[in-house]
Amino acid sequence: MIILTALFPLTSLPALAQPPKPGAEEFVPQGLVAYDTNYLLGEGRDFIVFKIRNDGTRTISHLFGWVYRYNESPQGATDFLLMNNPHQSAFLIKGGPHRSGKVAQWRFSLNSIIPPNANERFILRVSPKSVFFAHHEPAPAPPEDR
């Protein structure tokens, strides 16, 4: 018992686990990137914008991903439907160039316009093979104290 307590001292303390603060960004790790669970759906429901954090070591130039819509119910998530063309790159709309450790907004075009559903949610899946990096790193950002 002493050995297990020595190996895992913090995991046995439930008081250290705290729920996320309301309105706080919750990033879902996907390998080289992580996306925020809060997203912006376009007025015409023809695009969706995700905040994506670059967890890689280089600047991202292109990003391909799969956007799925699903329905939340007491039984769990149901009716998963692919909503975009995963062969079409997302557009960097805010926060570029997307350097390592930074958060930027990427816009994914949606294929079909589906009537709104009260229980619908959207998720993003990104493979490490669908993240493309810049051939040349951009110049460093100027210091913000100027």
- Tell me, letter by letter, the H, E, C secondary structure of 68-117: EEEEEECCEEEEEEECCCCCCCCEEEECCCECCCCEEEEEEECCCCCCCC
Residue spans of the chain under pLDDT 70: 1-24, 145-146
What's the pLDDT at 146?
A: 55
Tell me the average pLDDT of the chain: 81
pLDDT of amino acid 9 = 45
The domain limits of the chain are 25-126
pTM of the model: 0.76
- The reported pLDDT for the residue numbered 137 is 80
Strands across the sheet containing 66-73: 76-82, 66-73, 120-125
